[in-house]
Every structure is written in structure tokens, then in C-alpha cells.
Amino acid sequence: MSSEKTIRVTLVRSLSGRLKAHQACARGLGLRRMHQTVDVITTPENMGMVRKIDYLLRVEEAVEG
């Protein structure tokens, strides 16, 4: 595994009717549908996207191993 720290992000609210910029953030994180979960590397760019749409997400630390 890589030594980069990751977080697990799950889309828990719908993207329909949201601002285009917020939809773009979700797509940028790799989220396409409800209840989809992705592991994201904690870079400043990714964390900015997570913070922008935190009301749509559930965020937890990824389990290593």
C-alpha cells in the first residue's frame, strides 16, 4: 500500500438540484451515485472539495490493511 493518508467518502444526499459547482466537486472526488464510497488521498485540493460539499457526504478515515 502507499504511505499517503486517505479518507473514505460516501455520497449520502442526492446531487440533483444542487449547484453546478457542488456537482462538479462530487464528480471530481469520483462520486457518481448515491451511497457510493470512494477512498480519496488527503491533498489540499481534495480536502477543499470535501469541505465545500460536506453537507452531502459522510467522511471517515480509511482503514489501512
pLDDT score for 65:
61
The total domain count for the chain is: 1
Residue 1 covered by a domain: no
Residue 43 covered by a domain: yes
Residue 53 covered by a domain: yes
Question: pLDDT digit string (tens) for 5-63?
Answer: 999 999 999 999 999 999 999 999 999 999 999 999 999 999 999 999 999 999 999 87
What is the C-alpha separation between 38 and 45, in angstroms, rounded?
Answer: 16
| CATH code of the domain containing 28 | 3.30.1390.20
pLDDT score for 4:
86
User: Does residue 39 contact residue 6 with C-beta atoms inside 8 Å?
Assistant: yes
pTM given for the model: 0.88
Predicted confidence band of residue 2 (pLDDT cuts 50, 70, 90):
low
Q: What is the extent of the structural domain holding 43?
A: 6-61
* Of residues 2 and 28, more confidently modeled: 28
